[in-house]
Amino acid sequence: MIEKYVNAEELRRLLSTLVIVLAALAIAGLFAIIVVPGLRNANKPETPTPVSPVVGEPGWLDPAEFPPERGRVIPAVDPQSLIAPSPQLVAKGKELFAANCAQCHGEQGRGDGPAAPTMNPRPRNFSSPDAWKNGYNLPAIYKTLGAGVPGTSMASFNYLSRSARMSLAHFVQSLGAFPHDGGSHEALEALAKELATRGEKTPNRIPVSQAMVMLEREFTAAPPLAVEGEIIRRVVISPSRAAQVLAGSDKWRKGPPELAAAILPGVPANGFSVSTVTLSAGEWKQLHAELLKLGGR
């Protein structure tokens, strides 16, 4: 039908033009699918490098995780030996700062540690006197170390001893060249009173993750008691509950009297039959031997 309107030469030109247009559209489509997304990604701002958690260190990463610490007795402290700055206190504070604070605040205390970009608000810049939440005098810094700052990543460091926190406070003050007032007379008196102790005993401390593992291990259900032997079959009515009773304490292993003391108060709810109360001394001895043989399984 189209031959009535165009000759063969014009038809070839039209078909050639159509092929060129279709090819151009195909190239444009491939460009949009393949090239444009790459250009967009090339212009995207770099994603900040994620900060890997520092295992075994406290702070913003997880206040519930800290190095396990055995309890110890801390001798009495003269408060003035901690309130007055000294090279020894500053040096000790520098060590503590590197281990506990530099990850967020930076080695020079300017709030530019590796973890700082992930925090809102940013960590405190100790080299500047601006915007300190509790103030930059010695009692205020000591208070912040003990209580943390709610609503920020600054966690409490109260697991550190008082002398350690005072060393940290002196080092933090050394990071700023501006004058640090000593604090009010009342604040210094209160600080001295808190530091003046006859000595203290710190408890054992473990991180929450370790405590959870220990609790899981402690409260894992014991396998049911193997009902083997005539006397065990006679007195055990619930192998699983009986196994839990025996797994809960090792005192019953000492002898038949201790076994009776562990079993009798809880029958029959503890998995042992009420007929246990009728056992003779010889049968208690036999039951004890059989349970020891089973190992409380």
Residue 152 included in any domain: yes
Residue by residue, DSSP assigns 9-77 as HHHHHHHHHHHHHHHHHHHHHHIIIIIHHHHHHHHSPPPPPPPPP-TT--STT-TT----B--EEEPP-
Distance separating alpha carbons of residues 230 and 235, to the nearest angstrom: 9
Residues 185, 258, single domain; the answer is no
Residue from 202, 185, 188, 198 nearest 80 by CA: 188
- 97 and 173 in a single domain? The answer is yes
Q: Which amino acid is at 230?
A: E
User: Does 258 lie in the same domain as 175?
Assistant: no
pTM of the model: 0.45
The answer to whether residues 134 and 186 belong to one domain is yes
Does residue 24 belong to any structural domain of this protein? no
DSSP-H helix ranges across the chain: 8-30, 36-43, 79-83, 87-100, 102-105, 138-147, 162-174, 185-195, 208-218, 230-235, 239-247, 256-263, 281-294
User: Is residue 188 domain-shared with residue 242, that is, in the same domain?
Assistant: no
Of the candidates 147, 176, 198, which is a domain's last residue? 198
Query: Which residues lie below 8 Å from residue 59, measured CB to CB, with a gap of 6+?
Result: 100, 101, 103, 104, 153, 155
User: What is residue 205's three-state secondary structure?
Assistant: strand
Predicted confidence at residue 58, as pLDDT, reads 43
CATH code of the domain containing 159:
1.10.760.10
Mean confidence (pLDDT) of the chain: 82
CA-to-CA distance for 219 and 196, rounded, in angstroms? 42
**Residues 239, 179 share a domain:** no
Asked if residue 214 belongs to a domain, the reply is: no
The answer as to whether 27 is a domain residue is no
**Are residues 85 and 166 located together in one domain of the fold?**
yes
Domain assignment present for residue 103? The answer is: yes
Residues 6+ apart with CB under 8 A from 172: 93, 97, 109, 126, 141
224 assigned to some structural domain: no
User: Which pLDDT tens digits describe the chain residue by residue (297 residues)?
Assistant: 555 665 667 767 777 787 787 887 878 777 677 765 665 555 555 555 554 444 444 444 455 666 787 887 767 778 888 888 899 999 999 999 999 999 999 999 999 999 889 888 889 999 998 988 888 999 999 999 999 888 888 888 888 888 899 999 999 999 988 888 778 888 888 888 888 876 667 788 888 888 888 777 766 677 888 888 889 999 999 998 899 889 888 899 999 999 999 999 999 999 999 999 999 999 999 999 999 988 644
Residues 101 and 191 in one domain: yes
Number of domains in the chain: 2
Whether residue 249 sits in one domain with residue 141 = no
Distance of CA 58 to the CA centre of its chain: 8
Range of the domain at 110: 77-198
